Chains A and B, each alone.
Chain A
Amino acid sequence: MSGLLRIGEELSSGAVRLVTDMADEAERLLNETTLRIAITGLSRSGKTVFITSLIANLLAMGRGRQTLPALSALLERQGTVLRGVRLEPAGTQALDWFDAADKIRDLAGAQPHWPPRTSDLASASLTLELSRSGPMRLLGSRRVRLDLLDYPGEWLLDLPLLDQDFSQWSAATLALLRAEPRAAVAGEFLDFVAALDPTAVADEAVARRGYRLYLTLLEQARDRFGLRWLQPGRFLRPGPRGESPMMWFFPLPGDGPAPSGSLRDLLARRFVAYRDDMRQNFFDPWFARFDRQVVLVDVLGALWAGQGAFEDTRHAVAQIAAAYDARSRSRWLGLSTLKRVGFVASKADHVPAAQRPALESLFSAMMAMPGEDRRTTTHRAIAALRCTEDAVHDGLPVVLGVPLGEERRRPFRPGHIPSAPPPPGDPFWSRPFFELPALRPPLIDPDGRDGLPHLGMDTLLAWLLEDAL
């Protein structure tokens, strides 16, 4: 009798376990959605602050603060209630953990400062728990998981390299170096390259000297002219693994296969090793199959740096967006997984409200590219962390902000913001180089209780996540 009871008990336990597992899986399939959001942008475009603000504001909203009014309004219109937002635990990932709380403490400290340049990959995941309405309520709460990735913006420039070989890259790069404004800093390197015989036997000292000269030229182009299209990206930000021999190459002219053992052969092999390393360790694992994309662009910095920097930024962003689009397409059907792409002009708080429409219009015209109608895109001007207040000074609109390192707020006048990119030769481009002033973050709660003050983050998020919430 007891044996029969034991068999019955085991049978019931097994059946219950089976159903429990099935129910858990069914519940996950019904209620869980994961969105991979690519936060894309060149260096200093504000990716880290954008992600920090996104996390801080969503967490504060989950705690009952009205930090993202447009998103709240969207949820209300859809009859959805946000039941909570939580940061997912780090799990077993090999990547750095994006510590938003630490970054908020940096911004809110006694000596507030902006997060340092990102030097490696870091990721974070947020889960929004949303209750359904109507009869669908029976299905239970939905969970929308947002996967976010932060990385050095410079590395993104290597994305277009994946489809090039050494000859193509060298030809394109040398052509750029011979044109203004790069030509002003590329003289020494171009002279060095002109003196070389590409078919000569490879010499390590020559290769390393060429690499050093090329690196110096990239640094000067970045610092003196504010240029952004500077390949390969890891030359300027090598990351935690530092500099390695595969990086000791530079563009060298020549077509066809290089003679074995020649300098060009050595450089081409290093180029291929570098490209494959970026593909295997960076792009393939982390840059495939995104569902949403935010492309951050420091438009104001480029605009005030001059025509060369402006065109350079436009070119870089267009190339990156195209490379992203290509990587997000399925191999066989050519369908894109990227449902929405938001092009964002960051640091819009440096411009008073009266001039922001002009900034958005300028940005739209700057980023307009053929083929955009294939996916849903938007162009917006936002500030992930608003450091200024609007005011009027001498009859003109200005913003008030505290320059970094100072204590008192001063008016910043952005001057004339054209609503379309000025044509080449326009007097607008004859202005001297002006560097966007670094402003001190506003006074914020170091615990992120109230989120981070922003401009337009809510409308951007509402648009980006509209169909997923």
Chain B
Amino acid sequence: MTPQTPGWADEPAAPAAPRTATATPPPDLGPALLDADFGGPIEHGVPAVIDLPLEKPPSWFGALGLLAGAGAALVLGTFGLGLALMLRDLFAASPVLGWLGAALGAGAGGAVLLALGREWRALRRLKALDQLARDLRTTPGTVAPPAALLQWAQDVGKRVPEAVPAAAQMLRATTLEEALGLMNTALLPVLDARVKALGWQSARQVFVVTAILPSPAMDAAAMSLLGLRLMRQVAVLHGLRPGTAMLWRLLRRLTVSAGLTAGADLVAEAGAEQVVHGLASKVVGGAAGATIAARRMLRLAGATAAACRPGDDSRR
């Protein structure tokens, strides 16, 4: 304690900190490589692993998910309890009726379990894709490509026959760099063509629907339905199993990465309105809104495809 620092006057003084600085060389000491053995080669520590940025959906989605879960539990629970009560009454009336009711309940329950199983498998497929994307991101390009990537390419080949030669080339790649290069230049263009065709199909439908429907609310409803259908088609094309939960996850992911296109869309929309309204309003009338809506279908197809792929760009 120094006279300037607060504290008890009779407190014993803290021991002086040990001197850690080494002596500095005298001015007349020159450089030299000394002859002493201090061990083997230099090896520095491995750098720590930092958390890769994960896409976290906005919290209100979490709350909505919880609400949906509670609703589902309520419905299923009520169904189960109602079934139990009904079976008790049926068995009380007649054993035959009771067994028939039990068979009906087992069939319905089995169907529900089957549906849940399908959802679970769809989610598991999506999770495996996420894991593959993470592996690709953390693996240097010079090592051998992971087996999961090659399996993914083979699966694409099974669904899209024109992608078979590209998948075969990927199997021959010796490094991850090569495999990703082949994926980007040979395999994905084949998928892109299919995605584009699906996107154009939906875009044309949206263009016509939004130009015809009289109310913006109906426009929005039609766009939502067509959009969800398009997402499902693109996901299935990429080997994901169709499922409500999987689509929900995909939708959440897209809302997180929607920022990728939103800013550019705003600018483009303003520009398009200027062009379409200003220069050709007499020819196309109010088609600017329909054009933007159709274009969004194309962007949706592209964004869904990117979210369903394991490559570098897929997590955007």
Contact = CB atoms under 8 A, between A and B. Distances in A.
A308 interface: no
Interface string B207-230: 110000000000000000000000
Residue among B32, B139, B203, B275 with the most chain A CB within 10 A? B32
Q: Which applies to chain A's interface (DSSP): helix, strand, loop or mixed?
A: mixed
Given A63-B140, A416-B27, A400 B42 contact: yes
Interface of A: 8-9, 11-13, 15-16, 18-20, 22-24, 26-27, 30-31, 59-67, 72, 81-84, 86, 101, 129, 131-132, 137-141, 304, 354-355, 386-389, 391-393, 395-398, 400-403, 407-416, 418, 427-428, 431-432, 434, 437, 440, 442-443, 446-451, 453
A23 B38 contact: no
A23 B264 contact: yes
B137 interface: yes
Contact of A409 (B31, B38, B51, B204): B38
A137 B29 CA distance: 58
Given A65-B50, A82-B53, A395-B23, A442 B312 contact: no
A453 B25 CA distance: 27
Interface of B: 21-44, 46-53, 137-143, 200, 203-204, 207-208, 259-265, 267-269, 271-272, 275-276, 284, 287-288, 290-292, 294-295, 298, 312, 315-316
18 contacts: A15-B294, A19-B295, A20-B268, A20-B298, A22-B267, A23-B267, A30-B264, A61-B50, A62-B137, A64-B51, A65-B49, A132-B259, A140-B260, A140-B262, A400-B39, A416-B26, A442-B44, A449-B140
Contacts of B40: 402, 407-409
Nearest to B43: A443
B203 A23 contact: no
A284 B295 CA distance: 43
Contacts of B22: 354, 392, 395-397
Contacts, number: 227
B95 to A, nearest CB: 64
Contacts of A141: 259-260, 316
Contacts of A411: 33-34, 36, 38
A86 B294 CA distance: 32
Nearest to B137: A63
Contacts of B142: 101, 446-448
A47 B291 CA distance: 52
Given A138-B259, A140-B262, A393-B34, A409 B43 contact: no
Contacts of B41: 402, 407, 409, 440, 442-443
B259 A83 contact: no
Contact of A12 (B34, B49, B291): B291
A243 to B, nearest CB: 37
B295 A16 contact: yes
B31 A64 contact: no
A66 B291 contact: no
A341 to B, nearest CB: 28
Nearest to A437: B33
Contact of B271 (A12, A22, A400, A401): A22
Nearest to B269: A19
3 closest pairs, A vs B, by CB?
A: A139-B263, A27-B264, A23-B268
A23 B265 contact: yes
A16 B298 contact: yes
Contacts of B291: 12, 15-16, 19
Residue among A141, A387, A398 with the most chain B CB within 10 A? A398
Contacts of B28: 416, 427
B138 A139 contact: no
Nearest to A9: B204
Residue among A12, A395, A413, A432 with the most chain B CB within 10 A? A12
